[in-house]
Structure 1
Amino acid sequence: MSQAFSYQPAEEPDVAHLITEDDEPVDNLFSEKQQRLLTEPLFTSWPGPGEDRKFLACANVAVFNIARNPPVVPDMLLSFDVEVHPDIWAKEHRSYMVWELGKPPDLVVEIVSNKVGGEQSEKKIKYALMRVMYYVVFDPERLLSDEVVTIYHLGGLSYRRFDGMRLPDYQLGFTLWEGEFEGFHHTWLRWTDEHGNLILTGKEQAVHERAEKERERAEKEAALAQVEQLAEQLRALGHEPQQR
């Protein structure tokens, strides 16, 4: 059974000077909704990576690799086998601080909304130096290349293109899904499970469960109607159906 990291450095870095949030709303509507579409389903519909392993999925949270350096803020991050301190208001727990959680995120996603965000340059280098295993660039408007989704896997000290959308290491995958989310119809980046099935949002899961219950009810009613029809046929032949 895997255990969450509980790493404590010999001397805690001074975090008083760190800016963990700047309160500046800079994301567009699409990015905001896409970020939540990559986090909420993991908590509501995904059973997790197995073996009671914990995971952290969050959006637009600063990642500090070294206290003296400014953070990188991915649109979404996913980290396995980490345990967040319950006091998330404390300065040292407000962001993803690698020395606190004991490891960098396992995967980050960047959503391209302009040509100056550095998703294929500065950020790519920073995540590689941070040792983030998978780096995903979602470019819905094809601003940086003809590829809508580009996945990189860390090999040595740099990233290499990763073929396919399945991540067998994590029992997860990605897919491009065209549909409506919270009133907006677009092509979204969605999670899939290890079998390629879409990981549903909480709302989708509730609709699915209601439909399943309705199907079971309809099947039961149809079966009862069939039994009654057979009973009527027996009565017409002069036989009384046996009661069970």
Structure 2
Amino acid sequence: MVTDRWLHLPSSAELPCSDDTPVDNEDQNLIPNILLFLLKFIWAERNDWFFGVDMGIYHTTGVSPLVPVVPDGFLSLGVERHKAGESRKSYVVWEEAGVVPMLALEVVSLTPGGEYDAKMATYARLGVLYYVIYNPQYWRRDQHQPFEVYKLQDGAYQLQIGEPYWMPEVGLGIGRSPYQDGTVVREALYWYSEQGRRYLTPEEQLERYRQRFGELLDE
């Protein structure tokens, strides 16, 4: 819905769908995509959420509504999962009834991208409630922790304590855990329940089923 104050702003069809900036490393796509595909499984029956990966967010709280902020991942609640049954090219706040993302995720790379200053300030102005910074490789360089969750309080982000960190407004927790990537075990971010149980991937669910089925056959 477009209100009067947004009448003269461009539509999503008129706005670039990307800033054409290449990602610095594989994790910037892998990590948010793991979270996305987990949500498709966890919230399969829900149609009131959208998770964007490397997608521009157009808003009116920056220098220009034509300049998007592009997180590695973000989650919005209370919006259609598929607008009119189609995929979004970008996330345009004035076409989403003013709903801003509830969570933004940045995966830090070799080239600093303002995750701890410029982007943090942008997300604060926009009103993003939770800001997650995942920095497994360069946290010593940046003098931060490998995994940090910030919550917007009184207009400023405050670093939160605890992992997995439970976000009641989202209805999910977030934290780190090993991820089987082919023959390699690496680290990734996952969603968690309020009780701190990690949501399993469909592949893990299938493997558990196979193991339990095999045990039954052996009895």
Q: Is 1:99 aligned to 2:118, yes or no?
A: no
Bigger Cα Rg: 1
Aligned equivalents of 2:183 and 2:126: distance in 1?
Answer: 37
In the alignment, is the contact (CA less than 8 A) between 2:150 and 2:159 conserved in 1?
Answer: yes
Q: Is 1:62 aligned to 2:59, yes or no?
A: no
Change (3 A) 1:115 1:197: same
Which AA in structure 2 matches 1:58?
Answer: G
Give the match's secondary structure for 1:187. Answer: strand
In the alignment, is the contact (CA less than 8 A) between 2:29 and 2:54 conserved in 1?
Answer: no
Aligned equivalents of 1:97 and 1:17: distance in 2?
Answer: 11
- Which consecutive segments of 4 or more residues in structure 1 shift more than 6 A? none
Change (3 A) 1:68 1:53: closer
Instruction: Spell out, residue by residue over 1:136-176, the C-alpha distance to the aligned partner (whole angstroms, 9 max, x if none).
Output: 01111114224011111111221111222121222211222
In structure 2, runs of 5+ residues without a counterpart are none
Percent sequence identity over aligned pairs:
27
Please name the residue that 1:159 is paired with.
157
Matching of residues 1-244 of structure 1 within 5 Å: 7-10=1-4, 11=7, 13-15=9-11, 18-23=15-20, 25-44=22-41, 46-47=42-43, 54-66=48-60, 68-83=65-80, 84-86=82-84, 88=86, 93-102=88-97, 103-141=99-137, 142=139, 143-164=141-162, 165-215=165-215, 217-218=216-217, 222=219
Instruction: Spell out, residue by residue over 1:162-191, the C-alpha distance to the aligned partner (whole angstroms, 9 max, x if none).
Output: 222121222211222134224443222222
Aligned equivalents of 1:101 and 1:182: distance in 2?
Answer: 38
In structure 1, runs of 5+ residues without a counterpart are 1-6, 223-244
Instruction: Spell out, residue by residue over 1:171-230, the C-alpha distance to the aligned partner (whole angstroms, 9 max, x if none).
Output: 211222134224443222222122211112222222223333334x33xx63xxxxxxxx
Paired residues in the alignment total: 207
Normalised to the residue count of structure 1, the TM-score between the two structures is 0.75
